[in-house]
A and B are shown apart, each in its own frame.
Chain A
């Protein structure tokens, strides 16, 4: 099987890779594009560790084929900070100790950022439902939800 040549934009940079048609976007980002912030958890769309944005839409990259990403704009956790300057969500995750082992964190940051872009003032319930597809086995979620609410409040004041 000949490999397919894919060109996509990842965090604003053009990325090219060759992939087998069966490879997922998750595999392609990690194995061919060196984007290691995207994590594999379950591999079947249940845990959200591989969350990325695909043309602005939050998706599990394990449920997208690499070949589908041709011409697409992809956002990962690597695109959240501006150089050395952390995004408010990242700072608040550290302040609130909203992570422990960290494997779910990149996906949750991508998901939370996507939420705040659509809804700058979400309720706690809205945050919990939005993040229901991001599993965390360490924190019990409270710290994550508080960090997102705190970051949202700070971003609203700044804007």
Chain B
């Protein structure tokens, strides 16, 4: 295994593009190293992107959003008071991944590129409207996060392409987000179902919303029907029932040891209701 330490994304892309074998990019390594240890995968070329300038930065964008470097760890996000206050749901989703030790290394971009349908940080990013900057041989482009995963363990990234930053849009006024997942224990488990809701209020009425579901389809999914069910409402009981119905209808999960199809489909609706209520309260000013 060749270990590379590029100092620019262009260089990282060139190394990846020139490799004849299996390549992996190394940020936090919490998935790649497990695969390496378990002999599931030994890359021919391992490209450590942590020495590229800016990859550990959390910075404001010109329009008031955030740009996160691809080596920013979960712990660094949680410790960032302003980011956590603006996007508590997105930050909580990341924070739910693994132990303190894993949080010290794991990254948003890594969680996204690993391609797990149950990735806890991904629904929150999708609901927030995050984009990933994809850098490759032909330059860089912005891709909505929901378009990155294409199936379990698979992404849209072509040979020589990698994510070089994650951008979170401006929070703006009267907005709130939340992420909830179901696991059978209290900590350190993989989501059976996950749901993120991000919304903005005009007075008491929901003016904009995005709802994403995780672990109930081959990829985390943006569900427009869920957003449509709550936009224009004050989240009354009938609306919440409609939201739950839309969430359940959007599920196409698998049966596995963590949950049955029936269970996941039901719980998606329950979590959508609960997450929407939390996001709504936060938009009204409740602190996380």
Contact = CB atoms under 8 A, between A and B. Distances in A.
Contacts, number: 83
Contact of A63 (B1, B42, B50, B105): B105
Interface of B: 1-3, 26, 29-30, 33-34, 36-38, 42, 46, 48, 50, 73, 75, 98-102, 104-105, 187-188
Nearest to A115: B100
A45 B42 contact: no
Q: Which of A4, A54, A63 has the most CB of B within 10 A?
A: A63
B140 to A, nearest CB: 26
B1 to A, nearest CB: 5
Chain A interface category by residue count: 20 to 34
Given A22-B42, A68-B48, A129-B187, A4 B101 contact: no
A131 B187 CA distance: 11
A132 B187 contact: yes
Task: Say whether chain A's binding surface is mostly helix, strand, loop, or mixed.
Answer: mixed
A63 B34 contact: yes
B104 A58 contact: yes
13 contacts: A21-B46, A22-B42, A45-B101, A46-B99, A48-B99, A48-B101, A57-B75, A63-B101, A63-B105, A64-B33, A64-B105, A65-B26, A65-B29
B75 A45 contact: no
Given A63-B34, A64-B33, A4 B98 contact: no
Contacts of B187: 129, 132
Interface in A28-76: 43-46, 48, 51, 54, 57-60, 62-65, 67-68
Given A21-B46, A22-B1, A64 B99 contact: no
A60 B99 CA distance: 10
